[in-house]
């Protein structure tokens, strides 16, 4: 018999007698099977006390004893409670054990609206839900509230009892248990209750629905009733308040994705990295070189993003490919390379702000909640990150608006702790519940989602957008506060991305960058935007993890920049703007000279016509006209891989026969 | 710990330390850093140092511990010291002094801190053959001749020995520095020279007596050598890089010490004198009739009871001399150099066999104090004459460098440069004998090459020193230790590809203090858009890394820019 099916009226009536027993007598009594006689000696020294309390009576001429019938419901209930350790060692395993002991599969299934599944699956599902705040949320919710409506609508809690008096009594009981903050002795519940029948009914109903559980105190063997501790903790936890604004020092801002894309694209222009035979991946060495060229991240940021250098290269290649800025070029299996397209070179030639704005505009345009937005763009460059779209596609909800609203709640320049922000928005401003995500998600998954699941989901949506969009594109600045906690604020670029501004400021931070006469550029403090700007014409030399990162201006890096469309004037203007000291004269002069040495040469296929002597070459030129170009005294060229048939005929008519070269 | 933003140091996890010159605490940081980190480069704004096992061991040998090193980095750092650097410093520092060489009842003994380490060392293939009888769990007898090789091997496996075994006294030689130079004028040690000699001498204890003094070119390393000799008053063998340098030593000793002519011997190809103070060259010691023969002059080390061996320009010490030095560990050894960095990477051998760094004075300090001249460096890019451009383009890569170096258009630029500095003594430096002879002929100035007889050489040097000659052309012999105190302009018309060492030596020719504005000029002539320009970039980087201002000019711009 499960605890819910015990005769709780009988149990309540006999509880004072149980409390009056000594602990050893209670221990002895708990060893007695309620319906089966046992030999008298088994009671040992406690036999007399138990007999006096009328808990046992002698049978078989006094050789054996059995539990007196008025005490049998109590003993049955206590023995079941004894097996439960759900208050002593709360945890998922203890709860599942409790469920296995107390509820049948049929009863479990009723708790989850008849969902199919084997016993262990149902136990896992019920344990998960019963651990939630929302399991009793519907019961406690005031009439007319969202939670009450969700409970009535078959939300995440169990079905309510049919008898409204029992419902009210359950609510009173649960309310008292929440207020108590710990399991309450059952005898206290009964002590002053005016209607023990109603209390008994409420106990049965509440235990059957797992609103509360029953167990024995380990030291006194006294029955207690309480809410499952993890759920109680969640219910009692203060709600997350609005995050308080913080003063921060040295906020760190970076358009990481821009920097990564720039790094890859610079390589694709200057020395296209090799691709594997299939063209789908970079060769390990090429990838490693790109990884080494990426900007190092400060440790807190690296921890925040949890993405490896390899991930960052992959992300950049994907973004560039999808934007049509790079393509695989060459012969598959022989020398396939990731090369920049004309559009890529054009983008690369822009200043950092224009490049960033191009990306932000694409994202803004992909918003589904903006007229004319969305649709045509592929994965990487959509407003919502891929995981968000994957996780929430089942819901079919418009999330862009609420997401923008969440970040728009921060004033410009205001910094708040990231986790406090996420928790507040998830707990107090969670649009998923309002939008009916619990039920929509529930239909596709295993039943309605709990409050905690909805909160986690929304926090993840907000976090992914923060990490993959706002921070990656310079839309958020971060700072370490209170030891190792991360605070953030939405930047101008972030507000632009969110559609809260029509333009944004984007300047590389100068002031702590030094261009040295030996062509090195040293960062005395991190400045990712400046690193992104320098990455176009200087080679990163990995040094340290956080500070002092260093670039080297070399002939090759300048040639690569020139190939990508940069000019000496623009490079020097960037250096002048960034460097806190005047750019050394030798560096300035050398950069100008390197640029001056760059030439563009057009390559085109041509067919060479080798003549035996100068006269023949002259005849050839006379016959061929403008299509032919003399390359020397006896060599004439014609554009194209083959001699045009018409020209061949024309020459033949002039008595000049073109034959394939021997060998 | 708070890390103020205007602190000068940034410690990076690759063990480099950046020092910002404009920081208010830079000078303090530089002085403290030098004790445990090697200066890698010192361009205008941010200097780079590196912490290596050797640099930490040098610090430990000078009595500086791990706490002081990390404390300095923490105190002067702009950001926290990376954990890995902190751990490595602790590891390096913890290894120094765990192994010691001591004298014990007339025996040379290797003492090890604990049994486990002793066992580890005894089982090393490189160490085991160098150890003698095991005297106890942690003590080994060491054959006297194996002292140096054992120290080398211990450095190689990362457990440098602290050599406390002391030195042989050497033959006594009464000697002191003169207050008045014999050539006239007062003479006194500069503070840093006295401090360098004191640091080396260490009060005559076994903690001193061997080591390296690092001073910039022109700072008077020879004077420090003489000061050390005066403290020890013992017979001394001085090894230099060339005959000219040997002569300079001789001249200095006679000018500034109580030594007389007959007490100083020259051991060279012309004469093989062995006297209380004997000067020779590395070339002489490593000379052998054929490659198969031994080194007949190496026994110079044993031909007298030297109390001190001076290794001038120790960064150029040739490998065979290292081998012999390994057997000379009972004699005091003084290394003199402008840089500990060796192009062959044998810094560990210098540490093990000559000794730890005793003093390192940055040239900027000396420049500010007026002890070395301020140098301005300029590269003049000289176009190749049009008629040579096609032959250059068609020449084989190997020939192009020479063609560019010998660009005849450089002559005109040299003339303009000499006209620019009419009253200043100027040196014309070339890597090619034919080129320098041709230029000298055109300009009407004397030329010195390796084939110039010593007498003529001395006479020309003398004329130059006394101002009778204003310009002098030198082949590669100008690279090493020529004492030309009045040269304030150097024009290098060609060089040995991108050799940094050559650049340093040539620059050193003009760094001695000047009268007046104490300004020296160092010009490099490079053929524009040729391979020579690529090599010149390496030299340019080197000079910039040393902290010199470097300008790039076209010949036409010479008039526009003040000298």
So what's the ipTM on this one? 0.79
Quote the distance between the C-alpha of residue A544 and its chain's center. 28
Q: What is the β-pairing status of strands B332-337 and B210-214? A: parallel
Tokens of A487: 């605070």
Give alpha helix (H) positions in B177-334.
191-201, 221-232, 243-256, 282-285, 319-326
Task: List, run by run, the mean pLDDT of 10-residue segments along chain B (563 residues).
Answer: 74 90 89 86 87 90 91 91 91 92 89 92 90 92 86 89 86 95 90 92 83 86 95 93 85 94 91 93 85 80 88 83 76 87 76 85 79 89 92 88 95 94 92 94 92 85 87 82 69 84 79 82 94 89 84 86 65
Residue A378 is predicted with a pLDDT of 45
Q: Which residue has the tokens 């509880």?
A: A15
Across the strands, what pairs with A185?
Answer: A224
Sequence-separated contacts (24+) of A598-607 with Cβ below 8 Å? A598/A559, A598/A562, A598/A563, A604/A639, A605/A639, A605/A640, A605/A641, A606/A637, A606/A638, A606/A639, A606/A640, A607/A637, A607/A638, A607/A639, A607/A640, A607/A641, A607/A642, A607/A643
Residue B303 is predicted with a pLDDT of 83
B79 touches chain A (CB under 8 A): yes
| A479 has pLDDT over 50 | yes
Residue A374 is predicted with a pLDDT of 42
Closest residue on chain A to B542 (Cα): A518
Q: Rounded to whole angstroms, how far apart are CA atoms A59 and B536?
A: 115
Inter-chain CB proximity A522 and B541 less than 8 Å = no
Listing DSSP states for A515-550 in one string gives E-TTSEEEESS--HHHHHHHTTTSEEE--SSSS--E
Q: What angle do CA A173, A175, A176 make, to 5 degrees?
A: 65
| A101 has pLDDT over 70 | yes
Inter-chain CB proximity A586 and B540 less than 8 Å = yes
Residues of B461-483 as b/e, b for ≥16 C-beta within 10 angstroms? beebeeeebbbbbbbbbbbbbbb
Burial (0-12, 13-18, 19+ Cβ within 10 Å), B32:
buried
Count the alpha carbons within 13 Å of B262 in the hemisphere toward its beta carbon: 0
Question: Could you read off the pLDDT of A103-144 as tens digits, one per residue?
Answer: 888 888 888 777 777 888 888 888 888 888 878 877 877 766
Q: Rounded to whole angstroms, how far apart are CA atoms A92 and A107?
A: 19
Across the strands, what pairs with B462?
Answer: none
Q: Rounded to whole angstroms, how far apart are CA atoms B285 and B512?
A: 29
A22-31, A274-283, A457-466, B392-401, range with the lowest pLDDT: A274-283
Q: What is the β-pairing status of strands B236-240 and B277-281? A: parallel
Burial (0-12, 13-18, 19+ Cβ within 10 Å), B348:
middle
User: Which has the closest alpha carbon to A296: B82, B73, B21, B6?
Assistant: B82
Q: Rounded to whole angstroms, how far apart are CA atoms B219 and B239?
A: 19
For chain B, what's the residue count?
563
Q: Rounded to whole angstroms, how far apart are CA atoms A662 and B336?
A: 70
Residue B292 is predicted with a pLDDT of 79
Listing DSSP states for A470-497 in one string gives IITTTSEEEEEETTTEEEEEE-HHHHHH
Chain B interface test: which of A515, A524, A551 (most B C-beta within 10 Å) = A524
User: Which has the closest alpha carbon to A589: B522, B550, B545?
Assistant: B550
How far off is chain B from A588, nearest CA to CA, in Å?
10
Count the alpha carbons within 13 Å of A484 in the hemisphere toward its beta carbon: 7
Residue A157 is predicted with a pLDDT of 65
Chain A interface test: which of B552, B553, B554 (most A C-beta within 10 Å) = B552
pLDDT band at A544, cuts 50/70/90?
very low
pLDDT band at A545, cuts 50/70/90?
very low
CA distances from B281 to B321, B371, B503 (A): 11, 27, 22
Q: What is the β-pairing status of strands A337-340 and A326-329? A: antiparallel
Q: What's phi and psi for A318, nearest 5 deg?
A: -60, -45
Inter-chain CB proximity A524 and B46 less than 8 Å = yes
CB pairs under 8 A between A and B: 70
Residue B98: CB partners within 8 Å, gap ≥ 6? Answer: B112, B113, B114, B117, B159
Tokens of B306: 């030297």
Residue A591 is predicted with a pLDDT of 95
Question: Could you read off the pLDDT of A4-35 as tens digits, one per residue?
Answer: 888 999 999 999 999 999 999 999 999 988 88
Closest residue on chain A to B529 (Cα): A597
Chain A interface test: which of B6, B13, B543 (most A C-beta within 10 Å) = B13
Chain A interface test: which of B2, B8, B12 (most A C-beta within 10 Å) = B12
Contacts of A516 in chain B (CB under 8 A): 43-46, 544
Q: At what angle do helices A555-563 and A585-597 cross, to 10 degrees?
A: 50
| A443 has pLDDT over 50 | no
Three-state SS at B244: helix
Inter-chain CB proximity B540 and A544 less than 8 Å = no
Touching A: B residues 512-541, CB under 8 Å: 529, 537, 540-541
Inter-chain CB proximity B43 and A585 less than 8 Å = no
Residue A105 is predicted with a pLDDT of 86
B18 touches chain A (CB under 8 A): yes
Count the alpha carbons within 13 Å of A364 in the hemisphere toward its beta carbon: 19
Inter-chain CB proximity A547 and B79 less than 8 Å = yes
Q: Considering only the beta carbons, identify the residue of B43, B45, B552 that sits closest to A590.
A: B552
| A147 has pLDDT over 90 | no
Number of neighbours of residue B352 by Cβ within 10 angstroms: 28
Q: What's phi and psi for A108, nearest 5 deg?
A: -60, -45
Inter-chain CB proximity A543 and B12 less than 8 Å = yes
Question: Could you read off the pLDDT of B346-361 as tens digits, one per residue?
Answer: 778 888 888 888 888 8
User: Which has the closest alpha carbon to A475: A448, A495, A461?
Assistant: A495
A9-13, A385-389, A561-565, range with the lowest pLDDT: A385-389
CA distances from A116 to A122, A210, A301 (A): 8, 19, 45
Burial (0-12, 13-18, 19+ Cβ within 10 Å), A28:
buried
Three-state SS at B330: coil
Q: Rounded to whole angstroms, how far apart are CA atoms A214 and A207?
A: 7
B28 touches chain A (CB under 8 A): no
Closest residue on chain A to B536 (Cα): A590
| Percent with pLDDT over 70 in chain A | 89
| A372 has pLDDT over 50 | no
Question: Could you read off the pLDDT of A430-442 as tens digits, one per residue?
Answer: 888 665 555 554 4
User: Which has the closest alpha carbon to A410: A467, A487, A464?
Assistant: A487
B43 touches chain A (CB under 8 A): yes
Q: Rounded to whole angstroms, how far apart are CA atoms A109 and A436?
A: 23
Closest residue on chain A to B85 (Cα): A544
Three-state SS at A88: coil
Contact indicator for A124, A96 with CB cutoff of 8 Å: yes
Q: Rounded to whole angstroms, how far apart are CA atoms A490 and A509?
A: 17
Residue B368 is predicted with a pLDDT of 79
Inter-chain CB proximity B82 and A544 less than 8 Å = yes
Contacts of A590 in chain B (CB under 8 A): 537, 552
Q: Rounded to whole angstroms, how far apart are CA atoms A618 and A628?
A: 11
How far off is chain B from A309, nearest CA to CA, in Å?
18
Burial (0-12, 13-18, 19+ Cβ within 10 Å), A218:
exposed
Q: Considering only the beta carbons, identify the residue of B12, B379, B549 that sits closest to A548.
A: B12
Strands (E), A220-336: 223-226, 252-253, 326-329
Average pLDDT, chain A: 84
B20 touches chain A (CB under 8 A): yes
Closest residue on chain B to A249 (Cα): B5
Count the alpha carbons within 13 Å of A516 in the hemisphere toward its beta carbon: 32
First to last CA, chain A: 99
Across the strands, what pairs with B239?
Answer: B280, B311
Q: What is the β-pairing status of strands B134-136 and B264-267? A: unpaired
Q: What is the β-pairing status of strands B447-448 and B471-474? A: parallel
B78 touches chain A (CB under 8 A): yes
Tokens of B110: 């290797």
Q: Rounded to whole angstroms, how far apart are CA atoms A83 and A96?
A: 13
A119-133, A207-221, A522-536, B548-562, range with the lowest pLDDT: A522-536
Q: Considering only the beta carbons, identify the residue of A546, A585, A586 that sits closest to B79.
A: A546
Residue A444 is predicted with a pLDDT of 45
How far off is chain A from B336, nearest CA to CA, in Å?
27
Q: What's phi and psi for A225, nearest 5 deg?
A: -125, 135
| A377 has pLDDT over 50 | no
Q: Rounded to whole angstroms, how far apart are CA atoms A531 and B411?
A: 45
Give alpha helix (H) positions in A271-417.
284-293, 299-305, 309-322, 342-349, 352-365, 386-392, 400-408
| Percent with pLDDT over 90 in chain A | 29
Number of neighbours of residue A458 by Cβ within 10 angstroms: 25
């Amino acid at each position: 018999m499960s605890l819910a099916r015990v005769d709780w009226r009988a149990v309540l009536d006999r509880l004072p007698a149980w409390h009056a027993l000594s602990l050893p007598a209670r221990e002895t009594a708990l060893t007695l099977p309620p319906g089966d006689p046992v030999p008298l000696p088994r009671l040992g020294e406690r036999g007399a006390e138990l007999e006096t309390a009328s808990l046992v009576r002698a049978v078989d001429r006094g050789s054996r004893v059995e539990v007196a019938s008025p005490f049998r419901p109590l003993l049955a209930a206590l023995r079941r409670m004894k097996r439960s350790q759900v208050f002593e060692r709360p945890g998922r395993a203890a709860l599942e054990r409790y469920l296995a002991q107390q509820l049948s599969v049929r009863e479990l299934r009723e708790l989850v609206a008849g969902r199919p599944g084997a016993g262990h699956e149902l136990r896992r599902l019920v344990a998960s839900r019963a651990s939630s705040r929302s399991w009793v949320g519907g019961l406690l919710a005031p009439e007319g509230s969202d939670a009450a409506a969700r409970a009535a609508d078959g939300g995440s809690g169990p079905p309510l009892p049919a008898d409204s008096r029992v419902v009210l009594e359950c609510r009173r009981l649960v309310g008292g248990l929440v207020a108590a903050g710990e399991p309450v002795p059952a005898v206290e519940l009964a002590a002053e209750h005016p209607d023990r029948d109603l209390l008994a009914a409420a106990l049965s109903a509440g235990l059957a629905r797992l609103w509360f559980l029953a167990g024995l105190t380990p030291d006194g063997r006294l029955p207690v009733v309480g809410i499952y501790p993890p759920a109680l903790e969640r219910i009692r936890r203060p709600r997350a308040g609005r995050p308080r604004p913080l003063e921060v020092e040295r906020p760190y801002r970076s358009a990481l994705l821009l920097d990564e894309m720039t790094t890859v694209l610079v390589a694709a222009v200057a020395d296209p990295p090799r691709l594997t035979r299939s063209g789908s991946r970079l060769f390990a060495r090429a990838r490693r070189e790109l990884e080494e060229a990426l900007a190092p991240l400060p440790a807190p940021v690296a921890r925040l993003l949890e993405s490896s250098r390899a991930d960052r290269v992959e992300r950049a290649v994907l973004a560039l490919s999808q934007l049509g800025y790079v393509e695989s070029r060459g012969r598959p299996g022989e020398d396939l390379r990731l090369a920049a397209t004309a559009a890529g070179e054009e983008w690369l030639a822009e200043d950092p702000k224009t490049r960033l704005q191009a990306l932000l505009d694409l994202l803004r345009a992909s918003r589904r909640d903006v007229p004319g937005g969305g649709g045509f763009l592929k994965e990487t460059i959509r407003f919502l990150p891929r995981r968000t779209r994957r996780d929430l596609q089942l819901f079919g909800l418009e999330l862009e608006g609420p997401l923008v609203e969440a970040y728009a709640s921060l004033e410009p320049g205001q910094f708040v702790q990231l986790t406090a922000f996420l928790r507040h928005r998830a707990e107090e401003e969670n649009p998923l519940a309002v939008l009916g995500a619990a039920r929509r998600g529930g239909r596709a998954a295993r039943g309605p989602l709990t409050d905690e699941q909805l909160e986690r989901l929304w926090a993840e949506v907000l976090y992914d957008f923060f990490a993959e969009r706002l921070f990656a594109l310079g839309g958020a600045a971060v700072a370490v506060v209170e030891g190792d906690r991360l605070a953030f604020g939405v930047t101008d670029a972030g507000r632009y991305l969110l559609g809260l501004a029509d333009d944004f400021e984007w300047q590389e931070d100068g002031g702590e960058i030094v261009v040295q006469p030996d062509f090195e550029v040293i960062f005395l403090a991190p400045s990712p935007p400046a690193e992104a700007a320098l990455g176009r014409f200087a080679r990163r030399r990995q040094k340290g993890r956080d500070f002092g990162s260093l670039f080297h201006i070399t002939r090759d890096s300048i040639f690569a920049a020139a190939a990508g469309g940069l000019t000496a004037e623009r490079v020097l203007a960037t250096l002048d703007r960034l460097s806190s000291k005047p750019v050394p004269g030798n560096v300035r002069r050398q950069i100008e000279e390197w640029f001056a040495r760059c030439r563009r040469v057009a390559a085109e296929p041509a067919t060479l016509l080798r003549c035996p002597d100068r006269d023949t070459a002259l005849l050839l030129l006379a016959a061929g006209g403008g299509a032919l170009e003399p390359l020397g005294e006896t060599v004439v060229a014609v554009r194209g891989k083959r001699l045009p048939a018409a020209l061949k005929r024309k020459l033949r008519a002039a008595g000049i026969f073109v034959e394939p070269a021997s060998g | 710990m708070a890390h103020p933003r205007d602190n000068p140091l940034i410690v990076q996890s690759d063990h480099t330390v950046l020092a910002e010159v404009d920081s208010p605490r830079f000078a303090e940081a530089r002085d403290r850093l030098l004790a445990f980190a090697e200066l890698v480069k010192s361009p205008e704004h941010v200097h780079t140092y590196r912490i290596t096992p050797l640099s930490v061991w040098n610090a430990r040998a000078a009595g500086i511990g791990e706490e002081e090193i990390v404390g300095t980095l923490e105190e002067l750092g702009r950001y926290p010291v990376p954990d890995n650097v902190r751990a490595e410093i602790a590891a390096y520092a913890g290894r120094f002094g765990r192994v010691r060489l001591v004298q014990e009842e007339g025996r040379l003994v290797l003492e090890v801190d604990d049994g486990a380490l002793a066992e580890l060392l005894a089982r090393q293939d490189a160490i085991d053959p160098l150890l003698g009888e095991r005297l106890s769990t942690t003590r080994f007898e060491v054959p006297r001749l194996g002292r140096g090789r054992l120290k080398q091997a211990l450095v190689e496996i990362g457990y440098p020995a602290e050599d406390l075994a002391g030195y042989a006294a050497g033959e006594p030689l009464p000697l002191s520095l003169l207050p008045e130079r014999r050539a006239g004028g007062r003479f006194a040690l500069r503070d840093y020279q006295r401090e360098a000699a004191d640091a080396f001498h260490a009060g005559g204890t076994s903690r001193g007596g061997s080591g390296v003094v690092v001073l910039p070119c022109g700072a008077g390393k020879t004077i420090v050598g003489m000061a050390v000799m005066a403290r020890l008053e013992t017979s001394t063998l001085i090894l230099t890089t060339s005959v000219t340098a040997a002569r300079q030593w001789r001249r200095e000793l006679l000018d500034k010490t109580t030594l007389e002519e007959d007490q100083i011997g020259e051991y060279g190809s012309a004469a093989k004198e062995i006297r209380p103070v004997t000067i020779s060259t590395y070339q002489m010691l490593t000379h052998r009739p054929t490659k198969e023969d031994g080194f007949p002059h190496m026994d110079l080390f044993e031909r007298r009871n030297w109390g001190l061996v001076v290794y001038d320009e120790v960064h150029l010490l040739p490998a065979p001399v290292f081998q012999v030095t390994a057997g000379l560990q009972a004699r005091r050894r003084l290394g003199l150099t402008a840089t500990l960095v060796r192009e062959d990477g044998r810094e560990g051998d210098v540490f093990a066999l000559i000794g730890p760094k005793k003093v390192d004075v940055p040239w900027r300090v000396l420049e500010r104090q007026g002890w070395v001249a301020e140098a301005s460096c300029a590269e003049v890019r000289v176009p190749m004459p049009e008629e040579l451009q096609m032959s250059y383009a068609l020449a084989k890569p190997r020939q192009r460098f020479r063609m560019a170096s010998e660009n005849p258009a450089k002559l005109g630029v040299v003339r303009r440069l000499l006209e620019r500095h009419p009253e200043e003594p100027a040196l014309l430096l070339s890597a090619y004998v034919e080129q320098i002879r041709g230029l000298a002929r055109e300009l009407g100035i004397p030329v010195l090459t390796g084939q110039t007889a010593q007498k003529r050489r001395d006479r020309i040097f003398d004329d130059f020193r006394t101002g009778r000659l204003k310009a002098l052309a030198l082949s590669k012999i100008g690279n090493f230790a020529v004492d030309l105190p009045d040269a304030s302009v150097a024009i290098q018309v060609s060089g040995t590809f991108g050799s940094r060492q050559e650049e340093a030596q040539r620059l050193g020719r003009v760094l001695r203090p000047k009268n007046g504005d104490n300004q020296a000029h160092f010009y490099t002539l490079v053929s524009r858009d040729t391979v020579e320009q690529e090599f010149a970039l390496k030299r340019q980087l080197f000079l910039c890394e040393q902290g010199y201002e470097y300008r790039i000019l076209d010949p036409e711009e010479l008039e526009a820019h003040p000298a």
